[in-house]
Amino acid sequence: MATPQMLTANRLVDGDVVYWRAGGWVEAFADGDVFSAEADAEAALDAAREFVADNVMVNPYLFDVSAEADGARPVTEREIIRAAGPTTRSDLGKQAHKITSPSWGGRRIEPSEDASGGGPTSTLPPTRLAFARRPPHQGEVNISTIGDDDVSI
């Protein structure tokens, strides 16, 4: 195997992306095992299929990573997104937690406490959901009849 690989799946109960580590699963990409030997990668994939049979995980598969001095990184855009969390809202998923590694997306995450002690907060900027609300009467058409044949809008 020329390219190192990692093993990923989705947890059935909540759909979270997880990574293989020493016979079990971890949520953080940075904590997952990197396989440089094809036999080790295939053995891990075979072991992961037992979790599928037990209805714990779905769709385990191997994917390529690049080995770098500061750790592995996914090669494909799909795996970069899966490691970092959903792209729709930054207040959900893995990116909603404090990032503890200076690396790219998919880092080891830990919830941080806000100053009031009210629970986990994000260190990332909140998503601003701008649901379109039209001002009163915008988009409404008022039709007044001036005469029998004249209509103004």
- 133-142 pLDDT, tens per residue? 444 555 555 5
In a domain, 136, yes or no: no
> Across residues 68-97, what is the average pLDDT?
80
143 part of a folded domain: no
Residue 153 lies in a domain: no
Q: Look at residue 127 and tell me if it is in a domain.
A: no
**Which pLDDT belongs to residue 41?**
96
Going by pLDDT thresholds of 50, 70 and 90, the confidence category of residue 60 is very high
Residue 85: domain span: 5-121
Whole-number pLDDT of residue 70: 79
Residue 130 placed within a domain: no
Say if 33 falls within a structural domain. yes
pTM above 0.85, yes or no: no
CA 95 to each of CA 43, 46, 66, 90: distance values in angstroms, whole numbers, following the listed order = 31, 30, 22, 6
In the chain, the number of structural domains is: 1
CA atoms in the 13 A half-sphere facing the CB of 62: 20
Instruction: Please write the tens of the pLDDT for every residue from 18-53.
Output: 999 999 999 999 999 999 999 999 999 999 999 999
Condensed to tens digits (0 to 9), the pLDDT of residues 97-132 reads 654 443 444 444 444 444 444 444 434 334 333 334
